[in-house]
Amino acid sequence: MKVLAIGDIVGNPGREMVKNFLDKVIKDLEVDLCIANGENSAVGNGITRAIANELFDAGVDVITLGNHVWSKKDVFRLFEEKAKIIRPANYPPGTPGAGYVIAYAKKQKVAVINLSGRVYLENLDCPFRAVDNELKALSKITNIIIVEFHAEATSEKVAMGWYLDGKVSAVYGTHTHIQTADERILPGGTGYITDIGMTGPYNSILGVKKEIIINRFISHLPEKFEIADGPAQFNGIILEIDESTGKTTSINRLIIK
């Protein structure tokens, strides 16, 4: 089966790219399942119910989140409604929402797990132990398991890839908004890439107006972030997974701009 994972959708420009291109990508590349990171899809980060529905209507099957999970209060309702939207699994026990979801593609169960890194991010529970915990139950349900690791540090992401090699179908990173060129299949059959990039404003700094970020670096004065305008890009990966073994047979980066 073919799985498309879309890198962090930033604001209206990112959502427009999804609306304009996702249908064509799904058809042309024969995508069976689409996962998208939506934690920056609303203005001021987070996700609203209307935006989640907009993304689902555009063809997204599963929405993942990250450190901006709580930025819009709508997320609590989305979790209550059991929408296919997940937050990192390594939040403490009792946190609203779920860290994984079971989706269906080609009539097969696909488990999608969302994790957050801890290096330069919130000090959540250990993502390695959290994923082990999720895998105990999920590996009995399906052998097609995809892990999105929303993390900053490349070392932590690479470590997670190797840690899960042979245990899951794929591990890919999000959060940095910069697509890395290290896509590969690890020896145990796990597809891996450090970061799948960003779907949002092209002439920007991680999606934000470049002048604001440059000023912040130079002046050290706080300034409100504003999403950049102008042309946008679509970033993601296409994974091909052997349904009988759960192993990845190909991983390719996708860039549309």
Site membership for Fe ion, residue 7 (CB under 5 A)? no
Q: Does residue 68 have an active-site annotation? A: yes
x/- string (CB under 5 A) for Fe ion, residues 157-176? ------------------x-
Which helix (H) or strand (E) segment holds residue 139: the answer is helix 127-141
- Residues 157 and 4: their CA atoms lie apart, in Å, by 19
- Least distance from C-beta 196 to Fe ion, angstroms? 13
Q: How many residues bind Fe ion (CB under 5 A)?
A: 3
| Residue 66 engages Fe ion in binding (rule: CB under 5 A) | yes
| Binding-site member from 67, 114, 179, 199 for Fe ion (CB under 5 A) | 67
Residue 45 interacting with Fe ion (CB under 5 A): no
Shorter beta-carbon distance to Fe ion: residue 45 or 248: 45
Contact yes or no for 24/59 (Cβ under 8 A)? no
DSSP character at residue 70:
T
Reported as type and span, the H/E element at residue 154 is helix 154-164
246 binds Fe ion (CB under 5 A): no
3-state SS of 165-199? ECCECEEEEECCCCCCCCCEECCCCCEEECCCCEE
Q: How far is the CB of 68 from Fe ion (least distance, A)?
A: 6
- Looking at the Cβ atoms of 48 and 248, the one nearer to Fe ion is 48
Non-local (6+) Cβ contacts of 24 within 8 A are none
Q: Would you please indicate which residues are annotated as catalytic (active-site) residues?
A: 68
Q: Which residues make up the interface to Fe ion (CB under 5 A)? A: 66-67, 175
